[in-house]
């Protein structure tokens, strides 16, 4: 019998990748106040504690409203650098070996922040943090689905000078009423330009959105994908094509996508051979970095060691890393497990 303490230790230390997180969703309240002060921006909260208290959401929209408001404090390259660096330093403690991070430049462009400020700040921080933390990184640009397809095309042109520093493109924002089919031409163009592609689908939106994402847009992976659970044929397709789902259990719980973590579809999907992964989405706003998402899921869904090892492997398999690098990380997991269980036998 393993105690919860041993299980948690296993979770924290097993090598893992995080594939679904938004840098603008990782600004801790203290950082928010630091940046606001630096940029002489008045926040409507008295203190970081009061801001943390405001993190109670009814649904995706109520969260997005606060998220976009928070984006207001990011103004300079140094701001983007600091937020990115803080995230990577934090998840090093969670056993993260590889991180693929989104940012949505449209939130900052509309505040008058030039694109090169966003791109250069994040890219420099990722480069530096790779050296200091040993975490490999991938940078993804996310377009807003609640804006027009023309706006997504404009963004695409703006980011092209950094093409070689990007690992892929994604899409997020208000889902219901903004189906993947709205962006068919945009994704076709991104595909033609050779980008790896992902899109948020089936978080609040219907099963149909997940189907459209795969069949109309031809994305390489799906962010969330919860509502695919309602359609056995779609589940079969996800399994056959080995399309990774970057699921975010605590985010789902706090945005009322589910009412209890025990209802989360990730374990059943895992058992159906779908490459499910566990991620934090917006770790500061949901007060849970990636390992905490694993721990809460493990407890509520009674995930076994075998399932957790599979989740860790899926996180690298589902990444946009080159194949040999994926293989190295999978070997790292296997070595970690050998060592972990050998030690455990000795302890007993």
Which residues of this protein are in contact with Zn ion, per CB under 5 A?
281
Residue 149 is among the residues annotated as catalytic for this protein: no
Q: CA angle, 212 as apex, 280 and 224 as ends, to 5°? A: 10
Q: Smallest distance from the beta carbon of 203 to Zn ion, in angstroms?
A: 8
Structure tokens at 109: 């462009």
> How many angstroms separate the CA atoms of 222 and 128, rounded?
29
- Give the count of beta carbons closer than 10 Å to the beta carbon of residue 148: 13
Q: How far is the CB of 143 from Zn ion (least distance, A)?
A: 13
Nearest to 317 by CA among 91, 100, 8, 123: 100
By beta-carbon proximity to Zn ion, the closer residue of 10 and 63 is 63
SS3 content of the chain, % helix, strand, coil (to 5): 60, 15, 30
Task: Compute the distance between CA of residue 26 and CA of residue 282 in angstroms, rounded to an integer.
Answer: 6
Tell me whether residue 238 or residue 248 sits nearer to Zn ion (CB atom): 248
Spatial separation of the C-alpha atoms in residues 270 and 314, rounded to whole Å: 10
Q: Is 278 exposed, middle or buried (0-12, 13-18, 19+ CB in 10 A)?
A: buried
> Whose CB is nearest to Zn ion?
281
**Cβ 332 to Zn ion shortest distance, Å:** 26
Q: Which of 24, 28, 77, 203 is catalytic?
A: 203
Give the H/E segment covering residue 137.
strand 136-144
Residue among 34 and 182 whose Cβ is closer to Zn ion = 182
| Of 200 and 211, CB closest to Zn ion | 200
Round the CA-based radius of gyration of the chain to a whole number and report it.
Answer: 19
Quote the least distance from Cβ 134 to Zn ion, whole Å. 25
Q: Which residues of 38-63 are buried (b: 16+ CB within 10 A; e: fewer)?
A: eeeeebeeeebeebbeeeebeebeeb
Which residue, 18 or 94, is less far from Zn ion as judged by CB?
18
As measured in angstroms, the least distance from the Cβ of 153 to Zn ion is 22
Active site residues: 203
């Amino acid at each position: 019998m393993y105690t919860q303490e041993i299980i948690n230790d296993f979770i924290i230390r097993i090598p893992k990748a995080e594939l679904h997180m938004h840098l603008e969703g990782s600004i801790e309240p203290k950082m928010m106040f630091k940046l606001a002060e630096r940029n002489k921006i008045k926040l409507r909260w008295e203190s970081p504690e009061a801001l943390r208290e405001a993190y109670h959401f009814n649904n995706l929209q109520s969260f997005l409203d606060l998220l976009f408001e928070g984006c207001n404090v990011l103004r300079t390259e140094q701001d983007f650098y600091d937020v990115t660096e803080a995230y990577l330093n934090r998840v090093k403690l969670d056993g993260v070996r590889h991180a693929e991070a989104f940012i949505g430049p449209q939130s900052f462009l509309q505040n008058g922040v030039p694109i090169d400020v966003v791109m250069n700040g994040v890219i420099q921080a990722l480069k530096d943090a790779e050296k200091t933390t040993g975490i490999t990184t991938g940078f993804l640009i996310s377009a807003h689905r609640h804006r027009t397809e023309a706006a997504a095309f404009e963004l695409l042109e703006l980011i092209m000078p950094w093409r070689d520093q990007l690992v892929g493109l994604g899409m997020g924002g208000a889902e219901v009423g903004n189906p993947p089919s709205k962006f068919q031409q945009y994704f076709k163009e991104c595909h033609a330009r050779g980008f790896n592609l992902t899109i948020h689908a089936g978080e609040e939106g219907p099963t149909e959105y997940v189907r459209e994402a795969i069949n109309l847009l031809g994305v390489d992976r799906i962010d969330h994908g919860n509502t695919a659970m309602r359609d056995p044929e779609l589940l079969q397709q996800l399994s056959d094509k080995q399309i990774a789902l970057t699921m975010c259990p605590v985010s789902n719980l706090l945005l009322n996508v589910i009412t209890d973590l025990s209802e989360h579809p990730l374990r059943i999907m895992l058992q159906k051979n779908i490459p499910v992964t566990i991620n934090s989405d917006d770790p500061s706003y949901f007060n849970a970095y990636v390992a905490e998402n694993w721990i809460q899921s493990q407890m509520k869904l009674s995930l076994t060691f075998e399932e957790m090892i599979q989740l860790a492997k899926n996180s690298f398999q589902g990444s946009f890393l080159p194949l040999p690098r994926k293989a190295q990380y999978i070997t790292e997991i296997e070595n970690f497990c050998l060592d972990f269980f050998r030690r455990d036998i000795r302890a007993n």
